[in-house]
Structure 1
């Protein structure tokens, strides 16, 4: 802030103080309604806050503070008209893939999205069943707890149906691997030079 701005700021504050003194004296004399004055002061404070915030934002834009900010000039992601005070922490957890400290509702939602890949890495049906039973138990426990936080919307998995889908995916992978191996063998066979002569 330069000297001219500082001087103007002092003059504005002095004028505002004199105005407040004048209004207070008029209230004491009974010529002004105190409720109306209170409402007017509240509105003026809101305008001052808005003006101050706008000035700070414009100053930050001039300095380039918002350069590279993915949300600059855009609506916040995931805001579908409902106010969610935890939007920023949810976005940070998802963006930085933070595990272990998230509320159970968020941790289970992330785990549910990755569960099929986790199951596909297992080799035996017993292991798949054990993982599914454990997952369902944790979903049920999270629904019972009344610790606050976001609600648990993750559905429990039908163990038998999931095992059947795991088998189908495993069989499809095996068939694709066998087909790829056969295609490689055929390509290698085709790439070998053919003999044009026969032994007698």
Structure 2
């Protein structure tokens, strides 16, 4: 059984009294002295925050944390990388796969064919450099890109689509009159 602590009881009494009067609850000062009593001070501060309603209507209150569908000890790190869009910390092979997937979008943001050619050549140089490294890690399976083919594809994407030909009008039907 928990032992009776007069300091904690008096703090709870003050919180209840002040919340009943709807007055502002003053923040508790950390207890002087030894570290053993710090947990009591933390309990009092949390109780005061609850009394003020600071924990009411929090997002995701009572719901599971999103993104934790399976047991993954690094879920928080992956969520941080995704949320903050941190790049450059992945192994080069995986970073090249990600860059390869968005290369067309990156090229579409460029304005000249020379810029596209330079970007594709830089990407190919990174792939070749990653293949030459003997650092270990996942294998580099990202293929090299053909520079001329990428420039042609970039040019084709910049062309406005050709208008579809208008449909031909249907031939008029002749009416046949019946005599009865």
TM-score by length of 2: 0.47
More helix per residue: 1
Higher relative contact order (CA 8 A, sep 6+): 2
The two structures have a TM-score, normalised by structure 1, of 0.43
